[in-house]
Amino acid sequence: MSNIFKRALREQRPQIGLWQGLGSSYTAEICASAGFDWLLFDGEHSPTDIPVLLTQLQAVSGTKAHAIGRPPVGAPWLIKQYLDLGFQTLLVPMVNSADEAAELVRACRYPPAGVRGVATSRASRWGRDRSYLATADDEICLLVQVETREAIDAVAAIASVEGVDGVFIGPSDLSASLGHRGQPAHAEVAGRIEDAISAILTAGKAPGILSADVATAQRYLELGCVFVAVGTDMGLMVRATDALAAEFGRGAGAPPQPAGTY
């Protein structure tokens, strides 16, 4: 199957996405039906594991939202499982050098170009897709995540690695690495992000980022980011439930209630 997300990146068509951290196929289906171009299924900072990922992929398979998987680490054995499960696009966290990026490219490709094991799996419709082995290498989209001082210093080299389709900047971890933990909007962090976006574009690759602030997300799109996550399922639920509870004087964000109003 053609990777529509990879094609969009090559054509520099902005893709708007939403993070999935709740580990639920039900909420994934709700989010996929909202109209986002892509959903990121997070195996790094959520309770999501391989069996849960399978149910989520099944839940969104009838929608237009492209499923992206983020394994907790870039281990080849885990990348193999994500690809066999049916993910065409992966976002691998904590990539700090061009050498690491090159090894990830190899993990995503079958021999002789790489080290991915050959097996009958959901990705090939259990062998019914006779073209899968011949086309998989070209259709898999590899996104690498730069989120440390070391990685941001090497971003031009990382983006230049053949087989890397996009580079995702992680503002939260980057701000911590630069000494501004919890301040992703800090001036130094913002400056390094803008420089990184420019370097990624110069290398001919697609920059990506996440921001739940609408104005900031629009700013990143204006700077040239091609794939932008504009929120998380968890964040949406927290804000909505806090707001509803506050309407009735309850919840973490509600003001203290005077006696007799309960």
**DSSP per-residue string spanning 37-60:** SEEEEESSSSS--HHHHHHHHHHH
What integer pLDDT is reported at residue 130 of this predicted model? 94
As a whole number, mean pLDDT of residues 221-250 equals: 96
Q: What is the mean pLDDT of the segment spanning 58-84? A: 97
- The answer to whether residue 145 is domain-embedded is yes
What percentage of residues in the chain have a pLDDT greater than 90? 95
- Which sequence positions are flagged as catalytic? 45
Q: Is residue 218 part of a domain?
A: yes
Residue 260 is assigned to a structural domain of this protein: no
Indicate whether 242 belongs to any domain: yes
pTM: 0.94
CATH number at residue 191: 3.20.20.60
How far is 245 from 259, CA to CA, in rounded Å?
A: 18
Q: 202, 45 in Cβ contact below 8 A? A: no
| Pair 29, 60: CB distance under 8 Å | yes
- Domain-located, residue 80: yes
State the pLDDT at residue 262: 28
Q: Are 88 and 139 in contact (CB under 8 A)?
A: yes
Number of structural domains the chain divides into:
1
261 in a structural domain: no
Q: Which domain holds residue 238?
A: 4-247
In a domain? residue 255: no
Strand segments, DSSP code E, in 78-202 are 89-92, 141-146, 166-169
Residue 1: per-residue pLDDT: 78
Task: For residue 158, give both structure tokens.
Answer: 């990382």
3-class SS of residue 216 = helix
Residue 256 clears pLDDT 70, i.e. is over it: no
1 or 225: which leads in pLDDT: 225
Task: Give the tens place of pLDDT for each residue, 204-216.
Answer: 999 999 999 999 9
Q: What is the pLDDT of residues 107-151, one digit of tens each?
A: 999 999 999 999 999 999 999 999 999 999 999 999 999 999 999
pLDDT of residue 257 exceeding 90 = no
258 in a structural domain: no
* Section 252-260 average pLDDT: 48
What one-letter code names the amino acid at 200? I
